[in-house]
Chains A and B, each alone.
Chain A
Amino acid sequence: MAIAKFFLSAFLLALKVESNWTRPFWFLFYHAIKPFSSVILVLFMYKAVLGFDFKNPFFPFIYVGTVFWTFVQSSTLGISWSILSDREFYETLKYMIILPYSYVLNLFGRFFAYFILSLFSVTILLISGKLLFTINFSLKILFIIYFISSIPLFFSTGLLFGSLLLLYPRYAFFLQEFFTSALFLISGVVFPVKLLPFPLNLIASYSPITIWLDGIRKNLGINFLSQNTFDPNKLLINFLILSFLFFILSIKIFNITEQLARRKGKIEETTGG
């Protein structure tokens, strides 16, 4: 019960921190509109080359890829942002760390807030894709499993980013940019990963986010996939086991880095402008 309360308070904290700058209506409006910009950028790049030919199978591929990428990005960055703001802006990291419950649980609560907010944006973007660009989505049952698996997958990814931020506060912004760019490149978001040079294409084919994105695409009825080496649905069990192991591993790594950060005196370190 106490753990549930702690989780809930972390969840509400993240919501408050995110939304305190405006009224709830504008906040939701902002979250509904903001993700459109990344879709629009790709949309106009597409239009510059192929015009308004939205029937091309490549269009739903990049549309769904970009939409779900906003999901990956905002949920995973939610964790690193929480660590960063705790340390730099609110200077509360030390107090969070010494709480009787694990900081990982605190981060999980806050991650969940970002996850729900992104879910809201993703839903609006998918409805817009259907209405504005007549993308035919046919929802399959495995979509739900892929969708649920995104929770441990994104949390683990975010936690790994977070581990680095704990140890290297000065490079926080750079590290965030580096890892999101690298992940964007190897996750087959806007192009098939086979286009990448060796060995990046190999790494990309086995990246859990690439497999997850393809699983989402396939179970939304889109047949153009990022990697054609294997069918994501046939590998679902393996993927789930791997995601679970990745989840456990990321928590272990985070706990080790938290120890290291304490040893190196990084918990209270702020970059000071």
Chain B
Amino acid sequence: MYKMQSRDKRYMGIDYPIKTVDLKRFYGKICALNGVSIKVNEGEIFGLLGPNGAGKTTLIRILTTLLLPTSGKAYVLGYDVEKEYREIRKRINMVSGGEEVGYGILTVQETLYLFSQFYGLPLKETRKRISELSDLLDLGPHLQKRVSRLSTGLRQRMNIARGFINNPDCIFLDEPTMGLDVESSINVRKFIKRWVKEKEGKTILLTTHNMYEAEELCDRIAIINKGEIFACDTPKGLKDLVKKEDIYEFEIKAKEYETKKIDDFYILEKKRLEGERFYIKIRAPKNIPFEKLIKEIRKDNTEIISFKKIEPTLEEVFVKLVGKSFEEVERE
């Protein structure tokens, strides 16, 4: 089994477990990556969010040593992906969602054993890791089942266990919940979060086109489209890019409610609900005192039943940055 590098080395002067500098990749004349520069910190779950064909998988393939860049530099754990790929391979792993891995005739346990041996794990250690991972991923009752008899969700959980079997310093997850049902997706996300939190010095790079997943899992997100990074920040930081005003939703009790401009606020939508109730959507300047808003609403002795502050979504961030929605980009 390979011993991991000492953390003191700080990735041989590169300072980040994952770093790319002006990375470009062309497939013939098609540009898949166009000058991507990212820096991922240790202990971070870093997300790449973008529609299909944005260049996420190409970037992962370069970082996992499956593909060479056309130009630019990429370092994983301080090693150059072009020249020092053997060193990288000892320390990383990868999981791709929506694909079948392993051999139908083998059991889950045998499959995990096989892949663990590619990393030289001693048998005792292998047994320990299989047991640990199967506990975390709830694979225990299925270890003796043949892979061909597993459901899609179980297969993907096995695939995830395979990816973590060598306890990598850096793991690349390419759409890890693709094709999974809601419950399995939740479990997988829980596992990923727990793993990076509990183990010291681990780094995860995750690609997804699921906004919710990106927001829930990632410490920082890079928005990528057509091979270019448009922005890179925490989910909150990204949202702040589009958040110049706040949006509020109210449910109020009143016999009548007039649509009017109330000082700094603007009523975007008004709907009569059952009984003497109304739904109103209000736009307010950013960081305005909330009391002021309440006061304005209750001016006519209106009773507030419920209210909600609406946060902008990452989709809105994407639209703002790229000028199109995911669907529009994919349709192109």
> Which A residues fall within an 8 A CB radius of B?
170, 269-273
Distance from A170 Cβ to chain B, minimum over Cβ atoms (Å): 8
Docked CA distance A272–B103 (Å): 5
Distance from A238 Cβ to chain B, minimum over Cβ atoms (Å): 46
B102 at the binding interface (Cβ < 8 Å): yes
Fill in one digit per residue for B134-154: 1 if any A CB lies within 8 Å of its CB, else 0.
000000000000011000000
Interface residues of B in 101-136 (CB under 8 A from A): 102-105
B264 at the binding interface (Cβ < 8 Å): no
Interface residues on B, range: under 10
- Nearest residue (CB) in A for B100 is A272
A/B interface sample: 20 pairs, CB < 8 A: A170-B104, A170-B105, A269-B148, A270-B100, A270-B104, A270-B148, A271-B104, A271-B105, A271-B148, A272-B100, A272-B102, A272-B103, A272-B104, A272-B105, A272-B147, A272-B148, A273-B102, A273-B103, A273-B104, A273-B105
Distance from B146 Cβ to chain A, minimum over Cβ atoms (Å): 9
Interface residues of B in 271-289 (CB under 8 A from A): none
Distance from B332 Cβ to chain A, minimum over Cβ atoms (Å): 27
Distance from A70 Cβ to chain B, minimum over Cβ atoms (Å): 33
> Which B residues fall within an 8 A CB radius of A?
100, 102-105, 147-148
Docked CA distance A272–B104 (Å): 5
A273 proximity list for chain B (CB < 8 A): 102-105
B147 proximity list for chain A (CB < 8 A): 272
A269 proximity list for chain B (CB < 8 A): 148
Distance from B248 Cβ to chain A, minimum over Cβ atoms (Å): 49
Distance from B101 Cβ to chain A, minimum over Cβ atoms (Å): 9
B148 proximity list for chain A (CB < 8 A): 269-272
B104 proximity list for chain A (CB < 8 A): 170, 270-273
Docked CA distance A227–B102 (Å): 50
Distance from A239 Cβ to chain B, minimum over Cβ atoms (Å): 43
A170 proximity list for chain B (CB < 8 A): 104-105
- Beyond the given A271-B148, A273-B104, please list 10 additional residue pairs across the A-B interface where CB-CB is below 8 A: A269-B148, A270-B100, A270-B148, A272-B100, A272-B102, A272-B103, A272-B104, A272-B147, A273-B102, A273-B103
- Nearest residue (CB) in A for B155 is A272
B103 proximity list for chain A (CB < 8 A): 272-273
Docked CA distance A270–B103 (Å): 10
B100 proximity list for chain A (CB < 8 A): 270, 272
Distance from A90 Cβ to chain B, minimum over Cβ atoms (Å): 14
Docked CA distance A92–B260 (Å): 60
Docked CA distance A170–B104 (Å): 10
Q: Which of A170, A270, A272, A273 has the most chain B CB atoms closer than 10 A to its own CB?
A: A272
Distance from A270 Cβ to chain B, minimum over Cβ atoms (Å): 7
